[in-house]
Every structure is written in structure tokens, then in C-alpha cells.
Structure 1
Amino acid sequence: MMKILKNLLILNAFYILLQCYCYTNADCYRRQYKQLSGGFNVIIKTGFTPVFNKMKVADKYMCSRWCATERFCHVWRFDNNEFCQIFHSMKDIITVSASLPGTMQTYYITDEDDQWFKVYFVKSGSGFAVLPSFLGEGPYESWGPATCTRTYCPDLFRSFLIDVWSDLPLQKVKLSLYKNNVEVAFMIFDGQGTNSSDWFSMSRVLDSPWKDVYKGAKNMYFSLFWKWSWRTFYAAKSQGGCVVDKGWIIVVGWNNICNWEKQFSYPYIIYSNKTEGIQWNGGHPFADSLAIYMSF
């Protein structure tokens, strides 16, 4: 069994390198893992058959290497110092518990500063419906292009941890916008005591590049989905008509009323590149993608 696992690791590693060459270098950096805090562990929901079977391994490092060869493995668990369970982040159905028998250790992939875990990513112009894909509403196939499957999709990623958001030892949430693979805007929120629908709030803002975004600011409009429009992750400073609307971030999901919202492909992401909110009608930069991160 160990020999078979080693051979599979070698073959999968070659496959990942080939995909990195063919598609993007984003998945080719050295992976770093961090243990989930507070004794919490990810487990497969009762009655669900996981994508990957549990295997006996020599140590947790072999478990991490196995996960690293699978594109959609971002979380893995090492049980009783001998068994490895890796998870498919978009297909497996999971629960989270802090009271499990035996010795279990759950690890998750982190970014380069060893702090943030990516739970969502969408590319501008990809055709995906942002809010349903973030919240997991409806079947996966209804979120966007049928050609983008959960086997490989460079335009969308959604982690199963969004489904157990309120059960996690969550500390902070970060929304980041990217252009040419460089972060151009961000907001960091207090994630304690939140769920997947209520964390995006001005009252929870901890940090951002804008001087007029701060905890306790009044008369601001923050919403995952703004009523009467297709605006999501809506962070507005003022509104009162197309020519006076002002803000920091909007993800536009459809051909709305305002001229500055009309584009050839959706979703598209606009943001303020100034030190404060800008008037959208006066021109605005576009971001290539949006990502949501958790910190435990």
C-alpha cells in the first residue's frame, strides 16, 4: 500500500507541474500548512462518501505531500499518528468539531505570510454569479459556465469552509482585489461571531487603504447584495443617482441602469485607487479578480 501511495504521489506531482505549465504559476508555489487552532478538526459529514479514501502513512509530512499533489486539496487531517485524510475543498461535505476522540490534527494551506487561508476566488468577466457561488446557493452548475468544472477551474474557487463558517474559530476575514496578480485594494474585518452573510459590515472593518473607511463611520452602505441591483460586495460612501454614487468597492453582476455599470462581460470589479471613496461616474479602475480569506 505504501509503495502504491508513493507512486501515486509521483504521478500526481507530475500532473500538477504539467497543469502549472499549461495554465498558470499561481498553483506552483511551495505550499505552507498551519494547524487549525483551538482543537478544531474537519470531518466528513455522516453519510457522505469522501472523494479521497483515508490512507495509512508514515508521518504527517507524507500526508501534507499527498495533499499538495491534489489541486483541490487545501485541508488535510492526520489521525492517531498513522492515518491521513485529505479533503476535496469543493466536493466534500464536511462538519467541524472541537470534541473528537483520539488524536486528530487538521491542517490548512496558508499564504506566504502564514496568516490567510483562501476560501473564495472569482475572476472578472468569467460569467459566474458572484453571490450564489460565494454562499453556495443552488447547484454548482447554475453558478456559471458549464465548461468550468470542479476538476479544474481557473476562474472560480469556493472552499467548503464557507458552509461551516460560524462553527470555525475565526478571527479575521479579508477581501482582496487583484490586478495583474498584484493586490490593489483590500478590507480586513473582525470575523469573530460572524456567519457567511453578516461579516461584510462597516462596523467590523479593522483595516483598509482608505482613510474614510473605519469602524463606526456613519451613513455608509455595506452589503453582500444591494437591493434593487446586481451589485455585490457593495461598499458605498454615498448614493443618490448614477452621477453622484460614490464608494470603494463594487462587484457588478449584470447590465444595470448606470452607464458606468455597463460592460460586455460580467462580473466586473471596480474599486477606488485613491485614499478615499471615489465618484464612479467620473471614471474608475477595474480589478482582475476578487478573493476572500480567513484567519484563525
Structure 2
Amino acid sequence: MVSHVTTLEDGYFKALHGIRIKNYGLSVPFPYVSDTHCCLICLQQGNCQSANVHEREGLCELNKFGPQDSGAVTEVNQSWSVYYKSNVEDRELMLRATSGVGFSVRDTWLGTLSPPPPQDGCKSMASAVCTTHYRNPKIDLWETLSISEVMIELYKNGSRVMFMTFNGTGSNLESWMSSSRLLTSSWTTLSPTRNFIYFSVKGDQPCSRVFLILQNYGGCPKDAGWFVVLDPISSDCCPGEWSDLSKKPKFVYSALDNVARYQSTDVDFADVMAVFVKYT
């Protein structure tokens, strides 16, 4: 459960327990009187976005990132809690999917599957604090929201390893992910002018390959693309090959600045996939 800490200011902080932002950057740990005191000190610092609190040792660390910011490096540590300014987040988390938990990412996104309730850590990008998927109920109101941008991000060991930003204006639950809506990406070679076999949320459904960006099918060893979620939906199309893996879903991405063969060392696997939105 996310708790709230009321401050003496107009805003409030939300708390994620068992999480610490490692690259806190604004201060060395210093003693504090209470969690509210630590939050008040953060409010007095113009560039402080959150605070790590170690209640047993009475320590406070000021952070320049919030737990959902792309630059934040988080860790699982039950001795700490992170308190972050909820009124400064300029984007909203819509989906936080976890690798290897056995629940379909596609069906969770579309609302046709309800995975177990998320733990507190399912809004953090740390890898070992969530055993299900988090789905924001606002997803069901998608077409009534004033969404301007949609972002997919991948995290490994708490650090962001991939991002894509799409034009979300006038989109629905599936249409936002398309090559024509792509705005920016961590791959400089990924652009709407490239040729794709798949670039969509649904992807190659018979093969359980969703949120798929694929350039080439040439027999399993030659399958090549930028990104795919291997979903635990149905049987695999390449028995004994690159996509025939246990503990799905798997988040597979090109580690190159270009398309990569999925059956090669040019791909890597992320722990967490997140979808954020920005509003107009």
C-alpha cells in the first residue's frame, strides 16, 4: 500500500517502502527527526524530488530523481523507504510488467486478464520487488484522456536500458504503438522510414510475440528486430530456438544501435517493462 505524508506545505509525498534510490546525488546521509522532517527538508531544496529514509538509523538522503524518473537507479532494501513528490511527476505510470511471473503482458494491458494484486514495489523500476504486473485502471479510460505522448521503457537491475516515445494524441489502447507515431527512441536507427513486418501491441499473436518490432522473418535463426515481449500465451513457434524460453514473459531488446538477430548475443533481456503517458 502506498502511504501519504502530509507536510506543512500545500503538497504531499507518497511513500514506497522497501525501496531506495541509489543515485541520490543531492546530499550525503544525514540525521533527521522524523520522516516528515526529512520531507520538509526536501521541500526546501529546489531540485529535490524525493528523499530516502532509513527509519531505524534515522538517516535521510535527498534525491534529484523520483522513483519513476528515467534517470533513477533503484534498489530493493527493506531498511529504507523513498518519499517522493506526487505533484511533480510530469507523467503517469500505466503499466509496469515484470519478467518471468507467468502472466500475459498483452492480456493484462488490454484488460482481458486480471493478474494478482500488485505489491507496493510494483510502481518501482527495481527488479525484485514485484511478482505480478501493475495495471493502472485509467487504461480503461484511454480514449477519454488527453494523452499527448506514450513511452515504453525497459529496466535492468533498476537502470533504464531502452526507451521509445510515441505520439499518443487521438490514439486507442493499441494504435499508439506504430511506426508512424514514433517520436524518439534510444535506438538512433529506429525510424518510421524503416521497413517492418510487425510494429504493434498485438504483434505476432500465434507465436505469442507481442509489443513486437520486427524487421525480418527468415527462419528462426534469422529472425531480427528491435524489441519483443515473449508472452506466456500459447505454444512457441520456434521450438528449441531463441523464443522457446522458460519463465515468461521475457523482454528481449537489441543491445545494438540497430536491428539485431534475436538468436544471437546482440540481444539482452530486461527485468521490467513500463508504459508511461503524458497529458496535454
With the shorter chain as reference, the TM-score category is 0.5 to 0.7
- CA distance in 2: counterparts of 1:115 and 1:10, whole angstroms: 20
Aligned to 1:281: 263
Aligned to 2:237: 257
Tell me which amino acid in the other structure corresponds to 1:275: D
Aligned to 1:128: 103
- CA distance in 2: counterparts of 1:10 and 1:187, whole angstroms: 33
Shift, 1:119, TM fit: 0.6
When normalised by structure 1's length, the TM-score is 0.59
Q: Which aligned pairs between 1:151-230 and structure 2 lie closer than 5 A?
A: 152=120, 154-155=130-131, 156-225=133-202, 226-230=204-208
Shift, 1:128, TM fit: 1.5
Tell me which amino acid in the other structure corresponds to 2:236: N
Aligned to 2:223: 245
CA RMSD of aligned residues (A): 2.7
- CA distance in 1: counterparts of 2:175 and 2:87, whole angstroms: 24
Aligned to 1:37: none
Q: Could you say if the C-alpha distance between residues 219 and 131 of structure 1 is closer, same or farther in structure 2, counting changes exceeding 3 Å?
A: closer
Aligned to 1:20: 17
- CA distance in 2: counterparts of 1:230 and 1:172, whole angstroms: 26
Tell me which amino acid in the other structure corresponds to 1:256: D
Listed one character per residue, the Cα deviations across residues 89-141 of structure 1 (whole Å, up to 9, x for unaligned) are: xxxxxxxxxxxxxxxxxxx9477xx4321110011111111111111114x2x
On the 8 A contact 2:174/2:200 being kept in 1, the answer is no
Aligned to 1:53: none
The structure with the greater share of residues assigned to strand is: 2
On the 8 A contact 2:208/2:236 being kept in 1, the answer is yes
- Tell me the secondary structure at the aligned position of residue 115 of structure 1: coil
Shift, 1:212, TM fit: 2.8
Q: Could you say if the C-alpha distance between residues 293 and 110 of structure 1 is closer, same or farther in structure 2, counting changes exceeding 3 Å?
A: farther
Aligned to 1:36: none
Q: Which aligned pairs between 1:59-78 and structure 2 lie closer than 5 A?
A: none
1:293 to 264, 276, 279: 276
Shift, 1:197, TM fit: 1.5
On the 8 A contact 2:106/2:231 being kept in 1, the answer is no
2:93 to 108, 118, 139: 118
Q: Could you say if the C-alpha distance between residues 164 and 221 of structure 1 is closer, same or farther in structure 2, counting changes exceeding 3 Å?
A: same
- CA distance in 1: counterparts of 2:220 and 2:180, whole angstroms: 26
Query: What is the percentage of aligned positions where both structures have the same residue?
Result: 28
Shift, 1:257, TM fit: 2.8
Aligned to 2:54: none
- CA distance in 2: counterparts of 1:235 and 1:183, whole angstroms: 19
Larger displacement relative to structure 2 (149-158 or 277-286)? 149-158
Mark the runs of 5 or more structure 1 residues left unpaired by the alignment: 1-7, 30-107
Q: Could you say if the C-alpha distance between residues 219 and 123 of structure 1 is closer, same or farther in structure 2, counting changes exceeding 3 Å?
A: closer
Aligned residues: 194
- CA distance in 2: counterparts of 1:117 and 1:149, whole angstroms: 19
Shift, 1:9, TM fit: 6.0
Listed one character per residue, the Cα deviations across residues 39-62 of structure 1 (whole Å, up to 9, x for unaligned) are: xxxxxxxxxxxxxxxxxxxxxxxx
On the 8 A contact 2:196/2:213 being kept in 1, the answer is no
Aligned to 1:236: 214
Shift, 1:218, TM fit: 2.9
On the 8 A contact 1:175/1:186 being kept in 2, the answer is yes
When normalised by structure 2's length, the TM-score is 0.62
- CA distance in 2: counterparts of 1:244 and 1:193, whole angstroms: 36
Q: Could you say if the C-alpha distance between residues 240 and 168 of structure 1 is closer, same or farther in structure 2, counting changes exceeding 3 Å?
A: same
